Amino acid sequence: MCKGQLLLLLLLLFCAAGPRIASAATNPQDAAALRSLMKKWKNVPSSWGKSNDPCAKWDGILCDGNGRVTSLNLFGMGMSGTLSDDIASLTELRILELSSNSLDGPLPAAIGKLVKLEYLALTNCGFSGPVPSELGNLSQLTFLALNTNKFTGSIPPSLGKLSNVTWMDLADNQLTGSVPTSRDNGTGLDQLVMAEHFHFNHNMLEGSIPEYLFSSTMRLRHILFDRNNFTGPIPASIGNIPSLEVLRLNNNGFMDKVPPLNNLTKLQVLMLSNNKLSGPIPNLTGMSMLENVDISNNSFDPSNIPSWITDLNGIRTITMQSVGLYGQLPQKLFSFPELENLVLSDNQLNGTLDMGNNISKQLGAVNIQNNKITSVTVYDSFSVKNLNLQGNPLCNGSLLSDTTPCTGQQTEAPPQIIFDAQCANPFIETIVFRAPSFDNVLEFLPQLEKNLSGQINNCTPNQLILMPYSNNEDAYLNVDIKACPVNQKKFTYSQVLNCFNLTVKTYKPPEIFGPYYVKAQHYPFHDKTSRAVLIGIVTGSVLLVVGLTLVGFYALRQKKRVQRLVSINNPFASWGSMEQDIGEAPKLKSARFFTLEELKFCTNDFREINAIGAGGYGRVYRGKLPDGMLVAIKRSKEGSMQGGLEFKTEIELLSRVHHKNLVGLVGFCFEKGEKMLVYEFIANGSLSEALYGMNGIHLDWRRRLKIALDSARGLAYLHDHANPPIIHRDVKSTNILLDEKLTAKVADFGLSLLVSDSEEGKLCTNVKGTLGYLDPEYYMTQQLTAKSDVYSFGVVLLELIVAKPPIHENKYIVREVKMALDMEDGTHCGLKDLMDPVLPKMGGLLGFPRLLKLALQCVEELANDRPSMNTIVREIELIMQDNGLTPDSMSASSSFSIESRTMKVPSKLPYSSASTSSTSFGMDSRAFEYSGVFPSSHGSLKP
């Protein structure tokens, strides 16, 4: 069935959820069947049973002119119970949508009697037992979604008789056996030439996939066979499907060579990781539309970087972990304009890592750990937020040897282990870095190592050791760099000059370390050097900083000491775990430190003319950085109650989350009692300003739908893909900002809370939030859940409709809308007098009844009656699609239906898989098109 026909079915679903058309009284047979079904279900819609005429008054029912039920749509109603044979009495049924309920038990074979059924969706319920073979009788079926249940047994060969089906989703069940084909069973899935989606991932299917399952006449776009137990070779016929866009075969037991795939010129996602594939690395020449490639953890022949990799101009993610790569990486690999993540760990790559001077601005994570990289060339334009080189010779600790301690009498510090140092006077210099939160020194080593690589001149690294500690009121990182002479008791002046030749003017540390200054102790050189020259050398010379390249070796041995020496009063002391690996990205991986002077300069000393907002925390100023970037600087007022706690929270959260629909943190300042946060500047202000006509922005209905979707995506990311999940606690229109393209971004995480797995998504906390948006259940019980954000978001949706604050002229928007509601009014649902007066004049309020219904579901009194943010995202996307709007063309990023990621969260990384590797990635709104797990939640995302 073509996309237009599928859209028609989805429009029918919309109609079922929206206002009813006039119809005759319900057919007695259908009415009796619905009443029988109702007796088997709990938590049915409140309208059920209040009238004897289901076609007229029961939610989710759509009937034809003869009173026959044609659509039963009870998506996400929270029902429980079983599906009885009574369903078979609805013989005119064309649409059956019961997804996201708690229905369980077997799926009755009688469902095969609904021969007019075109759309069957039972996703995310609890059905168990075998998939009924009688489903093969539904010859008009075009959409079949049984994913995310507990079905067992094999795939019925009879499903091969569903010749009109375009979407077949059996993912995330417990199915076993092989994929049925007509040669083996008389009927089979190879007969489904109209199908566009085969989703069989997350099962226990086994055996080999026969060549004849696929053919060039098929219209398949997505083949999702990942996370099963398939064996044998990948069928070569899979390379003959010209329409294929997504191929996921990862996490199976496929063997032998990868067949030619070059004919798949429309392929965007190729996932072959975690199999037993051998032979040469697959040749992907000519596959220019690829965006995500993962062939990790296979047994390919050792190979240099394949030449085709430099031709993938649209690539976003390349994951080739443990595939036998060797040689030096080409610069072009890092310059693809869309490249966001690159994982080449556990190979044999060697030589110098030279990423060039044209690194992709999108590149946020490069993982080359456990290779043989010996040095790194760094340019001024280097901007990668997370470069992991752990496990390379550049970073390992082989240069340190536990031999004689260096015990010079010029330091009161305890003796430190130095290679072949004997008993000599160490030359000591202290570098004071002024960025906060260095209690977990280990996390920052990769940046230091790559920054300082190659800086050693005429000085043996074995002679150097450092001692990181913190002993001042601002908890700055102090690094004592000690150099012990070899085979002599003291350095000469010429030796110091020859070894340490960088100056403050020429050396620039990584941004995370911020400004620094140098303190040196007196040293009795052997030769007679003028005191002035000595002071100049000691103060100006910073090549001693190369000793930082060995910080990891020392810090690994001094973890406990570092923790003890962190200032008790340091508000950042609890950040991070000292148990993390050296190569892990720091918690503040995307935030840089700004000095107070820098921020004074870019705001013209915080002049009033640059003030753009104020709140309980303090004031917000507009600033311009030296590179021309506009920023918003949130400065705490003196005596602010936010203090260290909320300041810590906001930095920690914002530096860890990366999503197009969340305001990004640029940096922070923690100096001289100042606490300031530097955000990206959002040009068009807040949603409330636009709705209330304060900034001249005109929001038509389509733009409001887009803003609703963007905001929902941002919140869904926080709830389901941040690790641990994040509850915002203060969702409101003033915390939704609009950029120059009117893309909405959720802002202000000052009140946000992290939710650990042990808390099961529920926190007992003092009530915080904004009157009018506050969840009544949270207010009464102080039990905070993600559904509290959902309630607040529902208020925002109503605010988009009425363009008034939630409490206006002593009237509460939620109550006013519920009192005025009249769903018989198919155009305005009884809200014409309440809604923004500009909306009725525009006409074309596409999807208005459905969005209103969604908003009212969000503001249900009981949290359990509200949908999740993922469900809200999907519903808004469907509203837009069903009305001819394309969500992705209006807003290209989303946040759900991905299985695992722990690196930077890219803006557009569709179809990611849990198999990507130990370091994997992000998400895209298009995921719902194929995942088959529409609103389901897999593991939390770790940004």
Residue 514: left (phi > 0), alpha (psi -120 to 50), or beta? left
| Per-position DSSP letters for 551-606, written without gaps between them | HHHHHHH-HHHHHHHS-TT-TTTTSS-TTS-TTSPPTTTT-EE--HHHHHHHTTTT
Place of tokens 């790569």: 325
Read off the tokens for 195.
């199908």
Does residue 309 sit in helix, strand or coil? helix
Euclidean distance between the first and final Cα of the chain, in Å? 39
Q: Are 325 and 351 in contact (CB under 8 A)?
A: no
Identify whether 724 is preceded by a cis peptide bond (ω within 30 of 0).
yes
Q: Are 485 and 424 in contact (CB under 8 A)?
A: yes
Per annotation, catalytic residue among 30, 730, 775, 836: 730
- Length of the chain, in residues: 943
Find all residues with CB under 8 Å of 309, minimum gap 6, and list them. 284, 318, 333
Distance between CA atoms of 767 and 751, rounded to whole angstroms? 10
Backbone angles phi and psi of 502, in degrees to 5: -85, 155
Task: Classify residue 39 as exposed, middle or buried by CB count within 10 Å of its CB (0-12, 13-18, 19+).
Answer: exposed
Backbone angles phi and psi of 863, in degrees to 5: -60, -35
| Other CB atoms within 10 Å distance of the CB of residue 619 | 17
Task: Look up residue 662 and give its DSSP letter.
Answer: B
Residue 36: left (phi > 0), alpha (psi -120 to 50), or beta? alpha
Q: Are 74 and 32 in contact (CB under 8 A)?
A: no
| Other CB atoms within 10 Å distance of the CB of residue 525 | 16
Distance between CA atoms of 822 and 825, rounded to whole angstroms? 6
Q: Are 435 and 512 in contact (CB under 8 A)?
A: yes
Query: Does an H or E element contain 792, and which?
Result: helix 786-802
Q: Are 259 and 236 in contact (CB under 8 A)?
A: yes
Annotation says 730 is catalytic: yes
Is 634 annotated in a binding site? The answer is yes
Q: What is the largest CA-CA distance in the chain?
A: 111
Q: Do the bridges between strand 317-319 and strand 246-248 make them parallel or antiparallel, or are there none, so unpaired?
A: unpaired
| Other CB atoms within 10 Å distance of the CB of residue 801 | 24
Q: Are 142 and 163 in contact (CB under 8 A)?
A: no
SS (H, E, C) 119-152: EEECCCCEEEEECCHHHHHCCCCCEEECCCCEEE
Distance between CA atoms of 620 and 942, rounded to whole angstroms? 29
Query: Does an H or E element contain 650, and which?
Result: helix 643-656
Q: Are 249 and 234 in contact (CB under 8 A)?
A: yes
Backbone angles phi and psi of 247, in degrees to 5: -130, 110
Q: Are 230 and 206 in contact (CB under 8 A)?
A: yes
Read off the tokens for 63.
């009937």
Binding-site residue numbers are 634
Q: Which residues are catalytic?
A: 730
Report the binding-site residues for ATP: 634
